[in-house]
Chains A and B, each alone.
Chain A
Amino acid sequence: MKNLDAIINEVGFEIVESIKNKDKERTKYKNYIDKSLGVLANDGVYVYWVYCKANKIDDIFIKKIEKLKEFVNIENADDEEFFRNLSNDIHQLLFFKEILEKALIYARYHAKALKVSENE
Chain B
Amino acid sequence: MNNNVVEKVICAIATDPIYIGTGGYTIGRVDNTIVRDPITYIPKIPGSSLAGTWRYYVAMELQSKFKDEYKKDLQKRKDKSLEDLFENPKDWMKEFDGNRYARIKCAGQDDQANKTFEDSKMSNTGHCGRCIVCKGFGFAKKDISNQGMLFFSDLNILYFPVYTRLGTKWITSPKLLNENFEIEDNTILTANGSEGYLNLGWLNLEVRGPIKKDLDLNNLDFKKEDIVIVPDSLISQIINSNLEVRTSVSIDPITGAAKEGALFTSEAIPRGTIFKGEIRGFKRVDNDLPDLNLVFNALDDTKHYYETLGIGGMTTRGFGRLKIDLK
Q: Name the one of B201, B237, B245, B265 contacting A94, with C-beta atoms under 8 angstroms.
A: B237
- Are A42 and B202 in contact, with the CB atoms below 8 A? yes
B201: A residues at CB distance < 8 A: 42
> In the bound complex, do residue A37 and residue B29 qualify as a contact, i.e. CB atoms below 8 Å apart?
yes
Contact indicator B29/A101 (Cβ below 8 Å): yes
In the complex, are the beta carbons of B233 and A41 less than 8 A apart?
A: no
A43→B202 contact, CB < 8 A = yes
Q: Smallest CB-CB separation from B245: which chain A residue?
A: A38
Q: A residues near B, CB below 8 A?
A: 34, 37-38, 41-44, 47, 90-91, 94, 97-98, 101, 104-105, 108-109
A30 smallest CB distance to B (angstroms): 12
Known: A42-B202, A42-B245, A98-B237. 9 other contacts (CB 8 A): A37-B29, A38-B29, A41-B29, A41-B240, A41-B241, A43-B202, A90-B205, A94-B234, A97-B237
Tell me, yes or no, whether B38 is within 8 Å of chain A by CB.
Answer: no
Minimum CB–CB distance from A109 to chain B (whole Å) comes to 6
Q: Could you say which of A44, A105, A108 contacts B202, with CB atoms under 8 Å apart?
A: A44
Number of A-B contacts (CB under 8 A): 36
Please tell me which one of the listed residues A44, A91, A94, A108 contacts residue B29 in the complex, with CB atoms under 8 A apart: A108
| Cα of A101 to Cα of B27 in the assembled complex, Å | 12
Q: Within the complex, which residue of A34, A94, A98, A109 is in contact with B27, where a contact is CB–CB below 8 Å?
A: A109
- Least CB distance from B12 to A in Å reads 26
On B, residues with C-beta under 8 Å from A are 27-29, 186, 201-203, 205, 233-234, 237, 240-241, 245, 265
Q: How far is the CB of B259 from chain A (nearest CB, A)?
A: 15
The 4 A-B pairs of least Cβ separation, nearest first, read A44-B202, A37-B29, A90-B186, A94-B237
Q: How distant is A75 from chain B, measured CB to nearest CB, in Å?
A: 22
Is B29 touching A105 in the complex (CB atoms < 8 A)? yes
Chain B residues within an 8 Å CB radius of A97: 237
* Nearest CB in chain A: distance from B233 CB, A: 7
Please, how many angstroms separate the alpha-carbon atoms of A37 and B28 in the complex? 10
Q: A41-B29, A41-B241, A104-B29 are in contact. Are A91 and B233 (CB under 8 A)?
A: yes
Whole-angstrom distance between the Cβ of A9 and the nearest chain B Cβ: 13
- The contact sample of 6 A-B pairs, CB cut-off 8 A, is A38-B245, A42-B201, A90-B203, A91-B233, A101-B29, A108-B27
Q: Are B202 and A47 in contact (CB under 8 A)?
A: yes
Give the chain B neighbours of A101 by CB distance below 8 A. Answer: 29
- Minimum Cβ distance to chain B for residue A114 (Å): 13
- Bound CA span A62–B202, Å: 20
Chain A residues with CB under 8 Å of B27's CB are 105, 108-109
Set of chain B residues within 8 Å of A98, measured between Cβ atoms: 237
In the complex, the chain A residue whose C-beta lies closest to that of B41 is: A98
CB of B300, distance to nearest CB on chain A (Å): 39
Taking the closest CB of chain B, its distance from the CB of A12, in whole angstroms, is 11
Min CB distance B187 to A, Å, is 10
Q: A91 vs B201: C-alpha distance in the bound complex, in angstroms?
A: 16
Contacts of A105 in B (CB 8 A): 27-29
